[in-house]
A and B are shown apart, each in its own frame.
Chain A
Amino acid sequence: MENTRSRGTPQAKEIESERAYLLRYARLQLRNPAQAEDAVQETLLAAIEGAARFSGKSSLRTWLTGILKHKVIDQLRRSAREQPLEAADDRAEAEAIDALFAGDGHWRDMPSDWGNPDAALENSRFRAAFELCLQRLPERTARAFTMREVMEMTTPEICQELQITSTHCWVLLHRARLTLRECLEITWFDGSRR
């Protein structure tokens, strides 16, 4: 998957050809498909209007992804205003995490051996299972996690965006990883596989 390496002003057609990639990126962040479409549409329009500003120093894809990040954050802010996060969800999530550990703080179940990670990553069915697990994460946890892992934002950047403390941010990221781990353990690496 080579990036387009054109120098000079990119044509609308070249920009449009990155739509599928951008949509995939947006969908990992925004669970509402209409919002993901909107963010991508706005990105493509902004890119076509501002094509002259593309310096050619980075790849076209990198430049477009930079624009998309801002559009995704705009969408996240919009949905945060529309649907405030529920304290009850937070409690339910904390309880689910507590249930993974025994009273003495050790794992309740033995985490299984996932074998060769490269083999899993190469398997498109594994990636589909992973995305399903991602969809099941509670909203705010998913937001923090995808900001960290998809957009590669730093903890301070995430804290600022979500208006939370760094401790809270680490809690959310830890929950996301534990929940995803548990979900994959059950849906992919179950006992029948190894």
Chain B
Amino acid sequence: MMDTCRKASELLSQEQDRALGPVERLRLQLHLLICERCRRVEHHFELLRAAIRRCRDDG
């Protein structure tokens, strides 16, 4: 049941595009709990979204 970072990264990305199912959400949460690298990547993905919208709206 231990996921790889690659799988976690896929789910972190898809989380921004669709509602994850309950099992997927649980798997992702469990992975994030033990993986600092993926917690960082989660923040990075969030920043990407904020950055592109900022570029769009701010000029």
A1 to B9 CA separation, bound complex (whole angstroms): 35
Given contacts A28-B52, A105-B7, A173-B13, 12 further A-B contacts (CB under 8 A): A24-B55, A24-B56, A28-B56, A101-B5, A107-B37, A112-B40, A117-B50, A121-B50, A130-B52, A155-B18, A177-B13, A181-B44
Q: Nearest-CB distance from A110 to chain B (Å)? A: 6
* Chain B interfacial residues counted at CB < 8 A: 32
Name A's interface SS. helix
Cβ contact within 8 Å between B43 and A117: yes
Cβ contact within 8 Å between A174 and B9: yes
Cβ contact within 8 Å between A130 and B14: no
A131 contacts across to B, CB distance below 8 A: 55
A173 to B13 CA separation, bound complex (whole angstroms): 7
A180 contacts across to B, CB distance below 8 A: 48
Cβ contact within 8 Å between A106 and B40: no
The answer to the question of B32 belonging to the interface, with a C-beta cut-off of 8 Å to chain A, is: no
Within 8 A of B (CB), among A116-134: 117, 120-121, 126-127, 130-131, 134
17 CB < 8 A contacts A-B: A21-B59, A28-B56, A105-B7, A106-B5, A106-B6, A114-B40, A126-B51, A127-B54, A127-B55, A148-B16, A149-B48, A150-B53, A170-B14, A170-B18, A174-B9, A174-B10, A177-B48
A149 contacts across to B, CB distance below 8 A: 48-49, 52-53
B13 contacts across to A, CB distance below 8 A: 170, 173-174, 177-178
Q: When A and B form their complex, which 8 residue pairs have the shortest distance between CB atoms, in order from nearest?
A: A105-B4, A174-B13, A111-B40, A105-B6, A149-B52, A117-B47, A106-B5, A181-B44
